[in-house]
Amino acid sequence: MNSVSEPTTVRSVYVHAPFCARRCFYCDFAVQVRRQGGGEEWLDALAGELGAVETEATFRLADALETLYVGGGTPSLLGPEAMTGLARIMGPARVSAPELEWTAEANPESFTPEVAAGWRSAGVNRLSFGVQSFHPGALRWMGRLHGPEGAREAVRRARQAGFDNVSIDLIFGLPPDVGRSWRADLEEALDLEVDHVSLYGLTVEPETPLGRAVREGRAPSVDEEQYREEFLLAARMLAAAGFEHYEVSNFARPGRASRHNAVYWDGRPYLGLGNGAHSYAHPLRRWNLRDWSAYSRRATGGELPEDDRETVDPAQRRLERIWLALRTSSGLPMKELTERGRERVGGWQADGLADVSDGALRLTTEGWLLLDRLALELTDLPAG
């Protein structure tokens, strides 16, 4: 039985591309190691899953999507025709609105001129490159397959193919003995004149090669003070270069903030397709099987490849609302706080962790470093 009585119309879709040529040292994503190909297999599974979604009728795709995000994994491994095939499956009318934001992730080493041209022709209009670093030693330590020049060449190819909205990912908090200069990486990123930068602090997930190395004493855990200093340095340098720090991990040139990610932060409904993908339509949250083979078998057979689901209760929704709102520069309306909550905010202001203006509570850059703790302190908000 569905947790929602009527189909929920979704205007934003996430599609997971599972294949990677190599699993990175720190990676805990739902990926399948494969050097190349898999595009037709991927499209067949997505078509089967979408058919099952339509039959189940918990989610209904809008006639025109507002955002479409293809992440991974490494979508660029799927080749030049993958996005044309995805458009066919989604329905060409759904991905032809001029205001659609269609993002696809790519790794520099597999973003060939053919992929660039094929994706642009299909309608992709925003790219997100997994650059992570420009330092050769850091790239080797992470298990990346591209070198410093690969990232620069990928951005050049994107511009030549007509992409005017390009984002890159950078990772901070790497062990000092890797020898990477974080400042130099930020300067390299600014030299590329990209439109958007996403920052990711290194995290040690237990079941990754990095997690095992830390447990066995072969690698150090993340240094919290270094983590803090590098985050603050990035915020200062990117702001000075004209980027807006619009979300804890994201910086954009004016008008280039990710519209797809805002769907998650605002708590709007979305559909996830592919192994490990999540879908949400309040109060239902569900997620697909992570294992590619298990997912593919079920989806290709026209079955819903669901792994599990949950009903988000009022207390959980309240915590998520607070945490997601405080992630963004829009903040949380003060009218949603209790008297006790407003008193706490006064203390945060005194400590330089928050600002209050235009009726909204916003965390400072220092406050964003304590986001999880501060969000928990406001869980006494009234339900509703």
Residue 295 has pLDDT above 90, yes or no: yes
Confidence class of residue 134 from pLDDT cuts 50, 70 and 90?
Answer: very high
Between 143-147, 301-305, 376-380, the lowest mean confidence (pLDDT) is in 376-380
pLDDT tens profile 120-133: 999 999 999 999 99
Within 13 A of 131's CA, how many CA atoms are on the CB side? 31
DSSP state of 236: H
* Domain layout of the chain by residue ranges: 8-266, 314-377
pLDDT tens profile 52-67: 999 999 999 999 999 9
Cα(262)–Cα(84) distance, integer angstroms: 25
Look at residue 3 in the predicted model and tell me its pLDDT: 45
Cα(289)–Cα(273) distance, integer angstroms: 11
Cα(339)–Cα(9) distance, integer angstroms: 37
pLDDT tens profile 315-337: 999 999 999 999 999 999 999 99
pLDDT tens profile 66-98: 999 999 889 999 999 999 999 999 999 999 999
Q: State the CATH architecture for 314-377.
A: Orthogonal Bundle (1.10)
At 285, which helix (H) or strand (E)? Answer: strand 284-288
Look at residue 144 in the predicted model and tell me its pLDDT: 85
Confidence class of residue 1 from pLDDT cuts 50, 70 and 90?
Answer: very low
Q: Vertex 346, ends 342 and 350: CA angle to 5°?
A: 165
Look at residue 383 in the predicted model and tell me its pLDDT: 42
Higher pLDDT, 39 or 1: 39
Tell me the CA end-to-end span of the chain in Å, nearest whole number. 25
Look at residue 132 in the predicted model and tell me its pLDDT: 95
pLDDT tens profile 205-236: 666 665 666 566 777 667 899 999 999 999 99
Judge: domain 8-266, CATH 3.30.750.200: yes
Cα(169)–Cα(175) distance, integer angstroms: 18
Q: Using CA atoms of 203, 136, 129, 323 in order, give the dihedral in degrees to the nearest 10.
A: 20
| Residue 133 contacts residue 139 (beta carbons within 8 Å) | yes
Of 184, 139, 147, 137, residue with least CA distance to 25: 139
Please give the backbone phi and psi of residue 141, each rounded to the nearest 5 degrees, phi first: -60, -40
Cα(264)–Cα(340) distance, integer angstroms: 28
Cα(338)–Cα(322) distance, integer angstroms: 13
Q: What is the mean pLDDT of residues 295-312?
A: 97
Residue 346 has pLDDT above 80, yes or no: yes
Q: Which two tokens stand for residue 290?
A: 């992570």
Cis peptide upstream of residue 73 (ω within 30 degrees of 0): yes
